[in-house]
Amino acid sequence: MVFSSTIFLWIFLPVVFAGNLVFGKRLSNLFLLMASLFFYAWGEPRLVVLMIFSIIWNYLAGLLIASVSRKKLMLFIGVTGDLALLGYYKYAGFLVKSANIIFGSTFIVPRIALPIGISFFTFQAISYIADVYRGKVKVSRDPLPVALYISFFPQLIAGPIVQYTDVEKQLKSRKITAEGFADGFRRFIYGLGKKVLIANVLAKCADTAFDHGAAGLGMLPAWIGALAYTFQIYYDFSGYSDMALGLGRMFGFTFPENFNYPYLSGSITEFWRRWHITLGAWFREYVYIPLGGNRKGKGRTYANLWIVFFLTGLWHGADLSFILWGLYHGALSFVERLGLKKLLDKSKILARLLCFIAVCIGWVLFRAENTSAGLSYIAAMFTPGDGMKLWELGDMKTLVIGIAAVIGCGMMQALVPGKLKEWYKKSLADALVCGAILFFSLVALAGAGYNPFIYYQF
């Protein structure tokens, strides 16, 4: 089930929200847990067992970490179990395939269905037991808060990745208010519009370019396709995050922000402070800092950065192209630290332009069918020659949406004064815009067109 579906919008969400009000505070966690498991089972009935296993495993791991003297061993067992589960479902086929290539073996590559959102809820589970071990949170003797934390449907499938410390108190006590509901519903509508009205339109342009292949594509069409995907993935993923944050607010939860206009960044380092913020925070908290962070000299700092970017790429997918994408960002960050950033800081406009271009090129590896196709596509972006006609990539609607995407990804927000933004949020104009976005989004969804979320595959 996806947020941008008629079943979710017209049936699931109204029923769950009304039911949560009826059951009240006492049974809210249990009711929302049952609703979340149903939400997950809607698309993958058999794999909901995996979700339940993860909940039980990490609940028991937390109890053992808090109860026994050998806490580090219990943490190791708990994390190993989580990573083993993630590794089997997400990376087993990739590892066997890689072994066959490297060693010339002929092992049968297993075809294992990837559970939706497994990377997200696994990282959340690890966050819980790690924070119990470090004493940042108290272990929950009641299984319901842990179960709801791992499975809560708004951020279950594609984040944001919420650390247990972010919602510990909210899991025990929260309040649904009219103001919170209105603010959350507004955020949800804007996220829905990002996804349905912008990302879905740009997806057709990007798909046309990438499905064509690099051969005979042409330099300008290649750039247009890459730019279309650059904005598609932003509006797709940030739209989902907006919907998740909005839904959480409607149910009394406040989740951390996941995006802060990343395409306005003047460096790759800044980009990762603005893009998928919760993933970066997770790696910083549970990988970078435990490895020593920047406290043990430049050499160790650089090594830790390379490890984090390698794992960031690997987290996104079991394919060499994702690993190369992560290492590509690691290389750019490394070069910036060597002195490039100081040069770029002399011109903010140039720094932002170069950073955006670098990110755009990186997204090609992320989007392409495989590494070879991605590298060929990048080569096409820098090879002059005849290719596809521009009108084959889209129509006037695509052009208009593309212009709106460029303006709306931070440019407009950066120019509008803060006081005007506050006035707008409380004005009738905002309500009218939200109504229009909701109406046109529902009309678009009624057409049953292209509508998947990119980050569902992770």
Residue by residue, pLDDT tens for the chain (458 residues) are 788 788 888 899 999 999 999 988 889 999 999 999 999 888 778 889 999 999 999 999 999 999 988 999 999 999 999 999 999 998 888 888 888 888 888 778 788 888 888 999 999 999 999 999 999 999 999 999 999 999 999 988 887 999 999 999 999 888 889 999 999 999 999 999 999 999 999 999 999 999 988 888 989 999 999 999 999 999 999 999 999 999 999 999 999 999 999 999 999 999 999 999 999 999 999 999 999 888 888 888 899 999 999 999 999 988 889 999 999 999 999 998 888 777 877 888 899 999 999 999 999 999 998 899 999 999 999 988 888 888 888 889 999 999 999 998 887 777 777 777 777 777 888 889 999 999 998 888 887 666 666 666 66
Angle between the N-to-C axes of helices 348-367 and 371-381, in degrees from 0 to 180, rounded to the nearest 10: 140
Question: The dihedral of CA 341, 342, 344, 347: what is its sign?
Answer: positive
314: its two tokens? 């690997």
Residues annotated as catalytic (active site), given as ranges: 316
Choose among 268, 260, 280: nearest CA to 341: 268
- Residue 173 vs residues 29, 49, 156, 167, 191: alpha-carbon distances, Å: 10, 28, 20, 10, 27
Q: Which residues contact 415 (CB under 8 A, 6 or more apart)?
A: none
Task: Identify residue 428 by its one-letter amino acid code.
Answer: L
Token pair for 360 = 């755009």
For residue 52, give every residue at least 6 positions away whose Cβ sits within 8 Å of its Cβ, in sequence order, or none: 37
Rg (CA), the chain: 23
Nearest to 114 by CA among 312, 323, 313, 318: 318
Q: Rounded distance, CA 443 to CA 24, Å?
A: 34
pTM recorded for the entire structure: 0.92
